Amino acid sequence: MTDSQTTRNTTRPLQVRPPGRRAAWAIGGVVAAALLLSQSLKVIPAGYVGVVFSAFSGVKSGVRQEGIHLLMPFVDRVNLYDARLQEVTLAHNINDGDEGAIRARSQEGLDITADVTVQFRIDRAKAAILHKELGRNYLQTVIRPQVRSKVRDAIGQFSAADLISTQRQAVEASITTALRQVFERNNLVLDSVLLRELRIPDSVAKAIEQKQTAEQQVAVEKNRLQQANISAQRAVVEAEGAAKASVAKARGEAEALSLRGRALRENPQLIQLTVAEKLSPGIQTVMLPSDGNFLLDVANLTKPKTGN
């Protein structure tokens, strides 16, 4: 080897690998770990429950409650369901697709329009069954159509006059009973049914009001007649009582006179006693008991003697 070749070999620069490839691998590892961690952990917010769907086994039976849960990454997926109190309102001023308020017919076939609010919640313990059988669209597939159906059925059991007057609570009770059974079958919990308004045609409402007014007037007249009859019966009873009292008094007086007469006949001295009672105190007399019945003049007996 010549000196010139040695010089060229010693002056050739060293080749060093760039550091960017290692950093890229490190960053990629961090991103992969973060992605894996995000797929492994799931936070269930307050008021919700989670239903886990596995790519291997389908919907899992358990329900995940509020908090942080560990999942199998890229295999398990959590579906959140709101377990808080919810409500659906069917009313004439609510945009609800084809119709808002519920249109029904009364017992006699009159058109009735009802505004209804239903408050409900899902059954937390059965959220997995709900997800498997109904899915997230249970509001459209079960709740709305069933509310309409049960409200129509309940309204059809009553007359229009009863619906707008005395049977409103009975209608709510009938709807509540029917809907509670449907909700339980579909893993839902019914909280309450609020019958907000019942509307009937104005002409029918006016006729019903006139009929009710007439019935009230008849009831008032019947009440007055009953009161008059009661007063008359009371007067008759009082008159009969007074008559009976008079008869009893007369009978008593007659019996008293009869007894007095008998006593005078049996005891002649009582005659002198009676006369004395009548004359007293105007005439001063005294009756002395003796075998000879007589009266003594007290004035003559008490008169002072005069000299001869």
Residues 91 and 192 in one domain: yes
Q: For 79-92, what is each residue's pLDDT tens digit?
A: 999 999 999 999 87
* Cβ(95)–Cβ(161) below 8 Å: no
Residues 259 and 274 in one domain: no
Residue 168 within any structural domain of the chain: yes
- Give residue-wise pLDDT tens across range 36-55: 666 678 889 999 999 998 88
* pTM strictly above 0.75: no
Quick check: is 15 in a domain? no
Which domain, by its residues, includes 65? Answer: 25-82
For 166-224, how does the pLDDT look when each residue is reduced to its tens digit (9 = 90+)? 888 999 999 999 999 999 999 999 999 999 988 887 777 676 666 666 667 777 777 77
Confidence of residue 252 (pLDDT cuts 50, 70, 90): confident
* 192 and 98 share one domain: yes
| Domain stop point among 82, 100, 131 | 82
Same-domain check for residues 156 and 118? yes
Q: How many CA atoms lie within 13 A of 134 on its CB side?
A: 20
Tokens of 227: 């009161």
List helix spans (H) across the chain. 3-11, 20-40, 127-133, 138, 144-155, 160-163, 168-185, 202-266, 269-279, 298-302
Q: Is residue 93 part of a domain?
A: yes
Q: Indicate whether 163 and 234 sit together in one domain.
A: no
Check whether residue 112 and residue 193 sit in a common domain: yes
Instruction: Please answer whether residues 121 and 156 qualify as being in contact, where contact means their C-beta atoms are separated by less than 8 angstroms.
Output: no
pLDDT class for 296, splitting at 50, 70, 90? very low
Are residues 100 and 192 located together in one domain of the fold? yes
Domain shared by 52 and 114, yes or no: no
Q: Are residues 148 and 46 in the same domain?
A: no
Task: Tell me which of 38, 60, 82 is where a domain ends.
Answer: 82
Q: Look at residue 218 and tell me if it is in a domain.
A: yes
130 shares a domain with 157: yes
- The structure tokens 């006179």 sit at 257
Task: Looking at the structure, tell me whether residues 42 and 69 fall in a common domain.
Answer: yes
Whether 37 and 101 map to the same domain: the answer is: no
> Pick the residue with more confidence: 7 or 232?
232
State the pLDDT at residue 286. Answer: 54
Residue 301 predicted with pLDDT over 50: no
Total domains in the chain come to: 4
